[in-house]
Structure 1
Amino acid sequence: MHPAIQGLLTIVIGVGACVGYFYLSNQFLDKVLFPAKGPHAGRNINRANIIRPWLFLFPALFALCLYLAYPVFETLRMSVTDRDQDGAFVGLANYSQMLSEPKFWEAMRNNMMWLVVVPAASTAFGLLAAQLTDRIRWGNIAKSLIFMPMAISFVGAAVIWKLVYDARPPGTEQIGILNAIYVGLTGNDPQQWLTLPIWNNFFLMAVLIWIQTGFAMVILSAALRGIPEETVEAAIVDGANPFQIFFKIKVPQIMGTIVVVWTTITIVVLKVFDIVFAMTNGQWETQVLANYMYDKLFRANDWGVGSAAAIVIMLLVTPILVWNVYNARKEMR
């Protein structure tokens, strides 16, 4: 079947199934379970109205249980079993093996570097872009250009930046813009940027910063526009310069939004996989936790250690996610 026809059929069947479910479930509720007639009509209507919201929530709850809750418990089970022993319970042996492997600690070290650099840089650049684009006439165009990388998949962005870092043999024309500039300015041989230990991690981070800056800019730009003009005008009257207005008046008032943006990007960083996989595949000391998990699960075929790595990622993400939700709810009160 042609992919376009297959996609169209999927949409039609999916939408039709949703409409059919809601229609038939409501008919079953109103006509069979709690008919709105007879001596108990009023009570039946009240009961139906209590149950009706759960009919609408059921597909989402079912999907969450099937694709989120079940995988979590299954991963936890697999992390304490051994495939070579027909799924026998081995306790924390997989975690112990994982902690004894240098590649795991390399992944942890790199993830910590990503956590320090990427959220800070993305939030800072996003805040700077939000402030500057609000002060120029063509700010909306600039915002569109800065936000555009958000529309690109991580793999697509990795391919683009791999071309930026591309290195051709000495004496040939360099198509990688970084090597073209480097060779043109210094006259040295081109560098294999993605093979340079430690530095190659920063070259990979640049890709995610490039993507997430647009996200941070949009959220922080909305927050900046929500600052009361009276506070800014009062600061100007008191003789504050633009830097003082920005850092002492505006930033404190949007600190809650900055923290939310920071933690959201932090969660993305903890799960980063596509960029590393597409650009270095974890080689040259660029391994991260998600890539380590993938290698164990699908290459080494070691579901125990791979599942243990997945649990570690989940444990690192969960406190940040809970704290983020808590702060968001507190601001809504």
Structure 2
Amino acid sequence: MEQLWTALGTIAIGIAGAALYFWGSNWLLDRIFPARAADMRRASRNVARANLIRPWLFLGPALTALGLYLVYPVFASIWLSFHDRTGESYVGLANYRWLLSDPGFRESMFNNFMWLLVVPAASTFLGLVAAALTDRIAWGNIAKSLIFMPMAISFVGAAVIWKFVYDYRAEGSEQIGLLNAIVVALGGEPQAWIALPFWNNFFLMAILVWIQTGFAMVILSAALRGIPEETIEAAVIDGASGIQIFFRIMVPQIWGTIAVVWTTITITVLKVFDIVLAMTNGQWNSQVLANLMFDWMFRGGGDFGRGATIALVIMVLVVPIMVWNIRNARAEMRDR
């Protein structure tokens, strides 16, 4: 209860502080540039100046936060990547040379690459199928709510849930893990699923697919509803089957939205951290880049130079996809 009251108090203080800031800043602006003045020209200039400044009162806190928590860390990370573990002594390109020769980094890159191949494709495909099917059934809204529900769960919370799915007990013991209980019931032997090298990556991917499918479904469902009925009716008249209509008529018309969903999930995959940390902590060959960065930056005494170098690799991988995603979304909005 103490934590709950602390959280509620923090929210209340934040809302009150934001309201006080916007009211106070606008009040001060109106006093500096009063709209009522004896000289009409001066009053007109004051209104124009106030209108010019007022939007920045709203954007100011957000821009300050972005600069403090996004822009500054980028330059700080670049600076740290050329320094030693303490961030004090300049070491040049030593951290980058270490990165290219480190087996842990190669393992992380390989695992991230597998995540990139599987998770965006599986999430987008399942989301597309779910969107198409739920729009055709009477209880579609209930089904959509159930599929979307995992989006409301944090990655750590989802990992805890799936730990009970993958839980392992020695053979002969009662299995509380859902997957092993099914395997034993079918006459098989229980397995420590998340401790199986290589294959454990796919068991971890299933968690993110479970979460992201709901996101993909909601976006793609809206796109499917925007398809003109005339094109579908024309295809039906021409004798096209349901599958042909779906893949040859509907999917091509929402390809831009599919690409946006795909790339958005790709960005999430490149930054995946919570699930791996909570499930395996990078053990059994399941390490990923974000977890590797966390290990070097904050564990074992911390190595700010190497941790920052790995962080820059993640940034270099994410930024081009993010820029393409934004441009593609803007182009789609212009076309509409």
Normalising TM by the smaller chain, what interval?
A: over 0.9
CA distance, structure 2, for counterparts of residue 71 and residue 34 of structure 1: 40
CA contact (8 A) 1:36 1:45 kept: no
Residue 132 of structure 2 is matched in structure 1 by 131
**Contact residue 107 and residue 285 of structure 2 kept, 8 A:** yes
What is residue 68 of structure 2 aligned with on the other side? 66
Contact 2:35 2:44 in 1 (8 A): no
Give the TM-score, by structure 2 length. Answer: 0.95
Structure 1: which amino acid aligns with 2:249? Answer: I
Counterpart of 1:156 in structure 2 is 157
Decide which moves more: 169-178 or 125-134: 169-178
Name the SS of the counterpart of 1:170 in structure 2. coil
Deviation string 1:117-152 (CA, Å, 9 cap, x unpaired) is: 000000000001111111111111111111111111
Counterpart of 2:110 in structure 1 is 109
CA distance in 2, matches of 1:130, 1:4: 36
Q: What is the CA–CA distance in structure 1 between the aligned matches of 2:217 and 2:329, rounded to whole Å?
A: 19
Which residue pairs with 1:79 in the alignment? 81
1:332, CA displacement in angstroms? 1.5
Hey, what does 1:214 align to over in structure 2? 214
Q: Which residue of 1 aligns with 2:49?
A: 47
Q: Secondary structure at 1:15's aligned position in 2? A: helix
Contact 1:107 1:288 in 2 (8 A): yes
**Structure 1: stretches of 5+ with no match in the other structure:** none
The amino acid that maps onto 1:255 is W
Aligned mates of 2:102, 2:85 — CA distance in 1: 19
Q: Which amino acid aligns with 1:226?
A: G
Deviation at 1:168, TM superposition (A): 1.1
Structure 2: give runs of 5+ residues left out of the alignment.
Answer: none
Q: Write the letter of the residue equivalent to 2:332.
A: E
The answer to whether the Cα contact below 8 Å between 2:282 and 2:288 also exists between their aligned partners in 1 is yes
Query: For residues 149 and 49 of structure 1, do their structure 2 counterparts lie closer, same or farther at Cα, with a shift above 3 Å needed?
Result: same
Q: Secondary structure at the match of 2:189?
A: coil
Shift of 1:35: 6.1
Read off the aligned partner of 2:15 and give its amino acid letter.
V
CA contact (8 A) 1:104 1:292 kept: yes
Please name the residue that 1:120 is paired with. Answer: 121
Q: For the structure 1 residues 247 and 18, does the alpha-carbon distance in structure 2 shift closer, same or farther, using more than 3 Å as the test?
A: same
The 10-residue stretch of structure 1 (227-236 or 65-74) with the greater mean CA deviation from structure 2? 65-74
Q: Separation in 1 of the partners of 2:195 and 2:3?
A: 39
SS at structure 2 position matched to 1:287 = coil
1:3-56 Cα deviation digits (max 9, x unpaired)? 344334323322222222222222222212556414322112211111111111
Match of 2:223 in 1: 223
**Secondary structure of the equivalent of 2:287?**
coil
The answer as to 2:24 corresponding to 1:19 is: no
**Counterpart AA for 1:105:** R
Q: Structure 1 stretch 1-10 or stretch 203-212: which is displaced more?
A: 1-10
Mapped contact 2:297–2:303 kept (Cα < 8 A)? yes
CA contact 2:33–2:49 (8 Å) conserved in 1: no
AA aligned opposite 2:100 = L
Deviation at 1:2, TM superposition (A): 3.6
Contact 1:197 1:285 in 2 (8 A): yes
Rate the CA distance shift 1:4–1:178 in 2: closer, same or farther, 3 A: closer
SS of the counterpart of 2:240? coil
Give the whole-Å Cα distance in 2 for the aligned partners of 1:152 and 1:201. Answer: 21
Deviation at 1:70, TM superposition (A): 1.3
TM-score, length basis structure 1 = 0.95
Distance 2:215 2:272 in 1: 16
The equivalences for 1:134-145 within 5 A come to 134-145=135-146
Question: Partner residue of 1:265?
Answer: 265
CA distance in 2, matches of 1:102, 1:291: 15
1:132 alignment partner AA:
L
Taking the aligned partners of 1:289 and 1:71, their CA distance within structure 2 comes to: 18
**CA distance, structure 1, for counterparts of residue 63 and residue 260 of structure 2:** 26
1:209-237: CA deviation from partner (whole Å, max 9, x where unpaired): 01111111111111111111110010000
Distance 1:193-1:76 versus aligned 2 partners, 3 A rule: same
Q: CA 1:2 to 1:166, structure 2 compared with 1: closer, same or farther past 3 Å?
A: closer
The percentage of aligned residue pairs carrying the same residue is: 66
Query: Which letter maps to 2:216?
Result: A
Equivalent residue for 1:94?
95
List aligned pairs for 1:229-244, cutoff 5 A: 229-244=229-244
Partner Cα distance (2:155, 2:72) in 1: 27
Please give the alpha-carbon distance, in whole angstroms, between the structure 1 residues aligned to 2:160 and 2:325. Answer: 32
Cα pair 1:30 1:36 within 8 Å, conserved: no
> What is the aligned partner in structure 2 of residue 326 from structure 1?
327
Per-residue CA distance 1:252-291 (angstroms, 9 max, x = gap)? 0010110000000000000000111111110010000000
The 1:174–1:9 alpha-carbon spacing in structure 2 relative to 1, beyond 3 Å, is closer
Tell me, in whole angstroms, the C-alpha distance in 2 between the residues paired with 1:234 and 1:225: 17
RMSD: 1.5
SS at match of 2:92: coil
